[in-house]
Structure 1
Amino acid sequence: MRLRMPWRVGQKILESKEVPRGKGWVETQLKLTDFEPGEEKETELAEAVKQHLMCGEKLTRFYRLARRDIDRLQNDFVQTEVPPSELKDVFPMVLEDEDLAEIGSDPTVVQNIQFDDGLAVFFGSVRVVTTREPLEIDQMPEDAASALEGWDELIGVRHRRLHSIDVLWLPNDDDFVEVRADYPIGISRNVGEEVHRRVRNKIAELVGYDVLQTPVNLFPLIDGIYRQRDGKVVELSFGTTTASLKNEKMRRKRLCLRDEAYHRGGSAALELPIQPFNLSVVWQRRLGPNRFSLPELSLRSTSYESGSANPQLFDAVISKCMGHSDYDYVRGRILSYL
């Protein structure tokens, strides 16, 4: 869980399973040193990891296919034997950085799982994540600290290997196939796009034909979700008829930017409506008394794309999902606009 999940998601899962937790993953691991969860709770936590592999922190593309093509894909993958690999052997667990040095970046099928509503094909691979982390100068050895005197901030760049799981989702009841690329903090949009290319090529190689050709254009959803007051908007970038560009972000996730006084006042002063091109929206879903999950959808484009004759956006960032239920809810909201 520590290797896969944002802390805010992980701590809610631990709470729901009645597992001790501290302030963050490090303190939680210390608390769990002598904790004996028992076989039933271990199974529940392993299931939570599996659901996060399928639904957590994904850069998703949708492909609209004829039902016969989806049925054919399902049949192809059900009959395809999963090749032996170290990534297959550990599934649904994931390997740490030091165990990934000899594993390549080419995606390989590690598991096919049939659910009530569709077939999930899991692809394992290794990719490099680059993070920039602040370093405390006053905690450096004396010689290093004196050499850095006069600098206000020190940033360290860390490169680490990540055991990634990308998913092909083949539904039973609708026409929208998905490729869900792993998209944790630290992975750039360019890397996400390259992952989609590799997974799509691997799917074509395995089934013998290029079935996933043009993803669904999600750009119209930005304006649609904003106008329909669907969910709570926590970030919005837009152009105005006065030739300005604005980016607004709510600091508290349970408040909606649409209702913020500055945003409403500025929008009302314009002769024509604003033109959104970048939006993040959160839905609050009840887990129990005073407990909620906050799955988030981000649709990120640019003002340049917005001004084109036919603006296009193929990627949806779906994050902070605790499992199938949260992801399926966000998916349902997306499909309602397509």
Structure 2
Amino acid sequence: MDRDLLYAVQKRIPFQQARKMLVQNGFPTGLGWDDIYQKLNDKSAQASADVAGLYDAYLETLIASQKAMHTYKIKDADANAIRNQISSLSIPSNVFSKRFPYILSNAEIKNTAAGPPKLAGQIDLVDGTALIFCSIRELELRDEIKTNLIPKTLRDNYTKVIGVKIERHQTFDVVLIPKTGGTVKMLTDAPSGVNGQAISGSLFSIRTAMNSFAGAKLFHKPINLYPTIRPFYNSNEGIVQRLGYSTTTSSIKSEKMRGAGKCLRTELFHKSGMAALNKSDFQTFEIQLAWELPSKDRFKTRPELGVFGSYRMTYATNPIVSVATVSKCLTYDEFNFVAGKLMLAVSGKI
């Protein structure tokens, strides 16, 4: 049994999604990882496990799982030059490439200096190539703390209590180079709870690394995604899970749906409020959508796309949102589906 593979899946993939991967590849599941490891001590469970299948699925998650994305448009000639460079690429030896596609141990992460992304590997895709860069980053994660864990004298003064912790992570950043054309996507890990400032910093670090790889400053400004928010809401695309908007009546709204699969567009309170407004009476600044895709097993597949701005942008002359989040994807096909919807909106086809 490949313990390095299981450790990487455990550390990188949210448990509900990891459970789906395990089931699809003949592995036992349980209430947690300790339970799964215990079951894998049984020889019949080991015999049923498709290790090669899980390995291939894990490779796809390096690209698809819990990512934030910048999209760039460069000249076709510059993209061709990068493709030619990749065709004869030799991955340099470093602490990350020696372990690729697996992750470093906790001790190695602790003892490896934080720094800029280093090229660790590449994955050949049907429609291009994924260059994988790794680094150690200190991420500030925020978790809501249950108020019943806090002394009553303190919790009576607060509606919500947020805990902040600093964790060192090995990140897998991705640059997707297509077989044709000059649309290049840059992705960074976006685990739950990480703040937007850290994500933006990571994405710009990848841009710097990719410009260094190309030997020229080919990547400048990522595509502005702000103009996609309102068309997404006005369309029938996906399930709207979250919408942020301001109104001419001086209110700021951030509405979310609690139930999975329920669309805000059809929620009674939201519909009633929108019916009282003219189309020019509100300005959107953020949206999160999900799409329910056909599934071959009992697990539902519902990848998500988020384009999040700030209400202050509704007062700006040229508001810019450059980051999209793509979450709850396990496969490259699922990621491509969501990214494809975003590019349709960018091109004005939604």
Q: TM-score when scaled to structure 2?
A: 0.87
Is residue 187 from structure 1 mapped to residue 194 from structure 2 by the alignment? yes
Aligned counterpart, 1:60: 69
Indicate how the Cα distance of structure 1 residues 26 and 291 shifts in structure 2: closer, same or farther if over 3 A, else same.
same
Any conservation in 1 of the 2:242–2:255 contact (CA below 8 Å)?
Answer: yes
Measured in 2, the distance between the counterparts of 1:55 and 1:161 equals: 21
CA offset digits 1:225-268 (Å, max 9, x no partner): 11112100011111122121111111112111100000000000
Measured in 2, the distance between the counterparts of 1:120 and 1:198 equals: 17
Aligned counterpart, 1:70: 79
- The partner residue of 1:98 within 107, 123, 128 is 107
Give the secondary structure class of the aligned counterpart of 2:122. strand
Measured in 2, the distance between the counterparts of 1:133 and 1:222 equals: 27
Please report how far the alpha carbon of residue 325 of structure 1 lies from its aligned counterpart in structure 2 after TM superposition: 1.0
Any conservation in 2 of the 1:231–1:281 contact (CA below 8 Å)?
Answer: yes
CA offset digits 1:18-38 (Å, max 9, x no partner): 321123445434443446535
Indicate how the Cα distance of structure 1 residues 27 and 222 shifts in structure 2: closer, same or farther if over 3 A, else same.
farther
Give the secondary structure class of the aligned counterpart of 1:299. strand
- The partner residue of 2:21 within 3, 10, 13 is 13
C-alpha root-mean-square deviation of aligned residues, in Å?
Answer: 2.5
Aligned counterpart, 2:277: 270
Give the secondary structure class of the aligned counterpart of 1:311. coil
Give the residue type in structure 2 aligned to 1:92.
P
Aligned counterpart, 2:130: 120
Measured in 2, the distance between the counterparts of 1:182 and 1:113 equals: 17
Any conservation in 1 of the 2:26–2:50 contact (CA below 8 Å)?
Answer: no
* Runs of 4+ with >6 A deviation: 134-139
Structure 2 unmatched ranges of 5 or more? 1-8
Indicate how the Cα distance of structure 1 residues 179 and 281 shifts in structure 2: closer, same or farther if over 3 A, else same.
same
More moved, 24-33 vs 64-73: 24-33
Is residue 110 from structure 1 mapped to residue 117 from structure 2 by the alignment? no
Task: Report how many aligned residue pairs link the two structures.
Answer: 331
Indicate how the Cα distance of structure 1 residues 290 and 135 shifts in structure 2: closer, same or farther if over 3 A, else same.
closer
Give the secondary structure class of the aligned counterpart of 2:228. helix
Any conservation in 2 of the 1:108–1:123 contact (CA below 8 Å)?
Answer: yes
Give the residue type in structure 2 aligned to 1:62.
T
Any conservation in 2 of the 1:129–1:186 contact (CA below 8 Å)?
Answer: no
Give the residue type in structure 2 aligned to 1:277.
F
Q: TM-score when scaled to structure 1?
A: 0.90
Any conservation in 2 of the 1:219–1:313 contact (CA below 8 Å)?
Answer: yes
Measured in 1, the distance between the counterparts of 2:219 and 2:28 equals: 44
CA offset digits 1:50-99 (Å, max 9, x no partner): 11111111110000122222111121233342111221122111124322
Please report how far the alpha carbon of residue 103 of structure 1 lies from its aligned counterpart in structure 2 after TM superposition: 2.1
More moved, 231-240 vs 182-191: 182-191
Structure 1 unmatched ranges of 5 or more? 140-144
Please report how far the alpha carbon of residue 224 of structure 1 lies from its aligned counterpart in structure 2 after TM superposition: 1.1
Is residue 250 from structure 1 mapped to residue 257 from structure 2 by the alignment? yes
Measured in 2, the distance between the counterparts of 1:224 and 1:133 equals: 32
